[in-house]
């Protein structure tokens, strides 16, 4: 974890008025694990938004000293980020325990929902060179919000899409679509990132496959000091920012 200033190199509007991709340069780029997030300051605090905003990393390039995020405009902080054309922002990089894939794993199913999809790209980015096969299942509300598909198509062994309205891919929940394929794929591991209702559906499938989920929570400090981000687990409350964000699905009380 490191305190740095990140330089905005590009800010691309992927969906009008809603979803953006930002590319940052950081000469002092720390080590990164897939699934980790950054805590990004809303300017230099002159906008009355004191708390930093947690956003997951989409892509990370250690050699180029760059990384990318994809975010949806929700409120004050993300609106501010969406308007940036350059400049520097204070940030804490990189936070959370991230996803790890044990040695010997051959097939991984990635299951993403909405803005939880982009961070899964960083998993393939890190582990693809180890010869692991990635079966990627991404669920969105509609075609309009289905971002980063070309990126995933380029690196996944198979990419499957589902939307709530059927405007692209199957008209179903992505967990149902995955369930239809799971016996055929036989993944050794499931990694997932998305909203809690999706995790509940995933847990309800009751699969005998190790499954790890990246939880989201409202955050204060992002570094384990304030306990704002507590989530209930079978061994008591845990901090999403420090003990997670990745937890074994069996441990979290969803």
Ligand X SMILES: Cc1cc2nc3c(=O)[nH]c(=O)nc-3n(C[C@H](O)[C@H](O)[C@H](O)COP(=O)(O)OP(=O)(O)OC[C@H]3O[C@@H](n4cnc5c(N)ncnc54)[C@H](O)[C@@H]3O)c2cc1C
Judged by beta carbon distances under 5 to 8 A according to partner kind, the member of ligand X, ligand FES, none in contact with residue 204 is: none
What are the b/e assignments for 63-91, b being 16+ CB within 10 Å? eeebbbbbbbbeeebbebbbeeeeeebbb
State the binding partner of 221 from ligand FES, ligand X, none, CB within 5 to 8 A by kind.
ligand FES
Residue with Cβ nearer ligand X (130 or 225): 225
Nearest to 136 by CA among 112, 169, 171, 104: 112
Residue 194 binding ligand X, by CB under 6 A: no
Of 51 and 155, CB closest to ligand FES: 51
List beta partners, residue 36: none
Q: Which residues pair with 123 in a beta bridge?
A: none
Contacted entry of ligand FES, ligand X, none for residue 239, CB cut-off 5 to 8 Å set by kind = ligand FES
Kindly determine how many residues on this chain lie close enough to bind ligand FES according to the rule CB under 6 A.
Answer: 13
Residue with structure tokens 């989409």? 58
Task: Tally Cβ neighbours within 10 Å of residue 225.
Answer: 11
Where do we find the tokens 């805590």?
39
Identified binder of ligand FES from the candidate list 77, 98, 169, 222, rule CB under 6 A: 222
Tokens at residue 240, please?
A: 């999403």
Q: Which stretch, 10-18, 21-29, 60-68, 235-243, contacts ligand FES (CB under 6 A)?
A: 235-243
What character string, x for contact with ligand FES (CB under 6 A) and - otherwise, covers 86-125? ----------------------------------------
Q: Can you tell me which of 202, 245, 246, 249 binds ligand X, judged by CB under 6 A?
A: 245
Q: Give the contacts of 112 (CB within 8 A, at least 6 positions apart).
A: 118, 119, 120, 136, 137, 138, 139, 174, 192, 193, 194
Handedness of CA 1, 220, 57, 153 (dihedral sign): positive
Which one of residues 95, 219, 246, 252 is an interface residue with ligand FES (CB under 6 A)? 219
Rounded to an integer, what distance in angstroms lies between the CA atom of residue 188 and that of residue 215? 21
77 binds, among ligand X, ligand FES, none (CB under 5 to 8 A by kind): ligand X
Identified binder of ligand X from the candidate list 34, 77, 98, 113, rule CB under 6 A:
77
Which residues in this chain contact ligand FES in the complex, by CB under 6 A?
219-222, 224-229, 239, 241-242
Which residues in this chain contact ligand X in the complex, by CB under 6 A?
37, 53-56, 69-72, 74-78, 115, 118-119, 216-219, 245
């Amino acid at each position: 974890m490191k305190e740095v200033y990140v330089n905005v190199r590009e800010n691309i509007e992927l969906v009008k008025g809603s979803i953006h991709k930002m590319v940052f340069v950081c000469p002092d780029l720390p080590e990164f694990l897939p699934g980790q997030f950054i805590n990004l300051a809303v300017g230099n605090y002159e906008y009355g938004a004191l708390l930093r905003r947690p956003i997951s990393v989409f892509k990370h390039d250690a050699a180029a000293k760059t990384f990318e995020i994809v975010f949806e405009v929700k409120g004050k902080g993300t609106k501010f980020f969406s308007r940036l054309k350059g400049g520097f922002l204070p940030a804490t990089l990189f936070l959370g325990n991230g996803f790890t894939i044990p040695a010997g794993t051959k097939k991984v199913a990635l299951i993403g929902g909405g803005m939880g999809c982009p961070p899964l790209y960083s998993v393939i980015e890190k582990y693809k060179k180890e010869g692991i096969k990635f079966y990627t299942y991404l669920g969105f509300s509609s075609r309009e919000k289905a971002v980063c598909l070309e990126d995933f198509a380029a690196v996944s062994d198979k990419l499957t899409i589902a939307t709530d309205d059927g405007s692209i891919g199957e008209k179903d929940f992505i967990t149902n679509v995955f369930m239809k394929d799971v016996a055929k794929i036989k993944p050794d591991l499931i990694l997932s990132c998305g909203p809690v209702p999706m995790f509940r559906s995933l847990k309800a499938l009751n699969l005998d496959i190790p499954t790890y989920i990246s939880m989201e929570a409202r955050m204060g400090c992002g570094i384990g000091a304030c306990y704002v981000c507590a989530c209930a687990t079978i061994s008591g409350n845990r901090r999403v920012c420090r003990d997670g964000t990745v937890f074994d699905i069996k441990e979290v009380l969803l």
